[in-house]
């Protein structure tokens, strides 16, 4: 059965994310291991590490997935920014290792005008360096599909394939499919036929075995808009039915489905994570 979860805040300490997830009855969660808008975070203390591992066992939340900082750009043509991004990315891997978090999701990066081919190659080479430098961590790097806003790479499945081919370490790589992002990038999933076509294309280009995480987000903007704006499940341009295709696809039924939808709604006094989790769970087992 699919595991349903959401991105949880680490305010007050990383273990608090597990407490919050447990309070909502989540099966899985995603976290930042530090402030996502800072290059470096405070060291994780032994006490916090032990509490995090203990609470993960007590709550049964699994897997815990980490997302890297939004500042990191391994496609940057600026040498200083690339070096800073690479150091920060390796630090993210270290933090995952300390917390025994197996997956580190990352946005591939933006080429900032240097061109897609160059940017893709540079991302692959940088990830390979990081994986070799941090071989002992065992952390798996998960490339996230993007909407393609601005110069962001990863909006075509082929981009991710080319990055992974450059890294050439398949056992240390994987893919996170974000439903909002692929829809905004032009991959339709709103009908059963469109969903099948998109997933067949994913399988042809990347292989379904590479898909390890799904970000379940509706989209504020339309198909092919190239705009990354998440919406509550069933309240956006994708619609509720598309999520039933994913959740009832036997090939994907053991994956973590993680919400990154808005935390609040002016129309509801109930936490929106609770609402969105309920909407997803009600779709499991729905017949077409």
d(CA 253, CA 104): 21
Question: Which pLDDT does position 203 carry in this prediction?
Answer: 98
pLDDT digits (tens, 9 = 90+) for 207-253: 999 999 999 999 999 999 999 999 999 999 999 999 999 999 999 99
Q: How many domains does the chain have?
A: 1
What tokens were used for 237? 């341009």
- In Å, how far from its chain's centre is CA 271? 22
Classify residue 288: in a domain, yes or no.
no
SS3 content of the chain, % helix, strand, coil (to 5): 45, 15, 40
Its pTM stands at 0.96
Residue 234 falls inside a structural domain: yes
Identify whether 138 is part of a domain: yes
Asked whether residue 270 carries a pLDDT value surpassing 80, the answer given is no
Query: Mean pLDDT of all residues in the chain?
Result: 96
Cα–Cα separations (whole angstroms), residue 151 to 146, 148, 189, 228: 11, 7, 24, 13
Buried b / exposed e over 82-119, threshold 16 CB at 10 Å, is: bebbbebbbbbbbbbbbbebbbbbbbbbbbbeeeeeeb
Kindly report the number of other CB atoms within 10 A of residue 230's CB atom: 21
What pLDDT, on a 0 to 100 scale, did the predictor assign at position 269? 63
Is 76 in contact with 108 (CB distance < 8 Å)? no
**pLDDT tens, position by position, 116-169:** 999 999 999 999 999 999 999 999 999 999 999 999 999 999 999 999 999 999
- Split at pLDDT 50, 70, 90, the class of 268 is low
Q: What's the whole-number mean pLDDT along residues 58-69?
A: 98
150: left (phi over 0), alpha (psi -120 to 50) or beta: left
Confidence at residue 69, expressed as pLDDT on a 0 to 100 scale: 96
Give the pLDDT of residue 40: 86
| Band of pLDDT at residue 266, cut at 50, 70 and 90 | low
Q: What average pLDDT score do residues 257-264 get?
A: 94
Residue 116 C-beta-side C-alpha neighbours within 13 Å: 12
Q: What is the mean pLDDT of residues 45-63?
A: 98
CATH number for the domain that contains residue 42: 3.20.20.150
Domain boundaries, position 192: 3-283
What is the C-alpha separation between 75 and 113, in angstroms, rounded? 10
Model confidence pLDDT, tens digit, residues 167-218: 999 999 999 999 999 999 999 999 999 999 999 999 999 999 999 999 999 9
User: Domain for residue 232, yes or no?
Assistant: yes
Residue 286 has pLDDT above 90, yes or no: no
Q: Give me the phi and psi of 244, to 5 degrees please.
A: -70, -30
Tokens of 83: 């070096």
Residue 81 maps to a domain:
yes
Residue 158 lies in a domain: yes
Nearest to 76 by CA among 145, 126, 33, 26: 126
Q: 232 CB contacts (<8 Å, ≥6 apart)? A: 218, 261, 262, 265, 272, 275, 276
CA atoms 179, 185, 189, 190: torsion sign: positive
Angle at 87 between CA 121 and CA 43, to 5 degrees: 145
Closest residue by Cα to residue 75 from 113, 37, 35: 113
Burial 258-287 (b: 16+ CB within 10 A, else e): bbbbbeeeeeeeebbbebbbebbbebeeee
Peptide bond just before 63 cis, omega within 30 deg: yes
Q: Is the pLDDT of residue 63 over 80?
A: yes
- The per-residue pLDDT for 267 is 64
């Amino acid at each position: 059965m699919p595991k349903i979860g959401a991105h949880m805040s680490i305010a007050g300490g990383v273990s608090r994310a597990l407490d919050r997830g447990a309070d909502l009855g989540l099966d899985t969660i995603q976290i930042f291991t530090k402030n996502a808008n800072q290059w470096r975070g405070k060291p994780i203390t032994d006490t916090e590490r032990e509490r995090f591992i203990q609470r993960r066992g007590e709550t049964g939340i699994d897997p815990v997935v980490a997302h890297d900082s939004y500042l990191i750009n391994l496609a940057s043509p600026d040498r200083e920014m690339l070096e800073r991004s690479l150091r920060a990315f390796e630090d993210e891997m270290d933090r995952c290792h300390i917390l025994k978090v197996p997956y580190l999701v990352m946005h591939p990066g933006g080429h900032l005008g240097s061109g897609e081919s160059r940017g893709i190659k540079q991302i692959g080479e940088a990830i390979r360096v990081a994986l070799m430098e941090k071989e002992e961590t065992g952390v798996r790097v998960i490339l996230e599909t993007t909407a393609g806003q601005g110069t962001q790479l990863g909006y075509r499945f082929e981009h991710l394939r080319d990055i992974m081919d450059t890294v050439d370490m398949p056992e240390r790589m994987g893919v996170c499919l974000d439903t909002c992002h692929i829809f905004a990038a032009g991959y339709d999933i709103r009908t059963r036929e469109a969903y099948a076509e998109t997933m067949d294309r994913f399988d042809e280009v990347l292989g379904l075995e590479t898909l390890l995480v799904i970000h379940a987000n509706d989209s504020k903007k339309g198909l092919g808009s190239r705009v990354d704006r998440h919406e509550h499940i069933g309240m956006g341009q994708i619609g509720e039915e598309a999520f039933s295709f994913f959740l009832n696809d036997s090939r994907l039924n053991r994956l973590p489905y993680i919400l990154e939808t808005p935390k609040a709604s002016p129309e509801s006094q109930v936490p929106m994570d609770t609402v969105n989790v309920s909407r997803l769970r009600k779709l499991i087992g729905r017949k077409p």
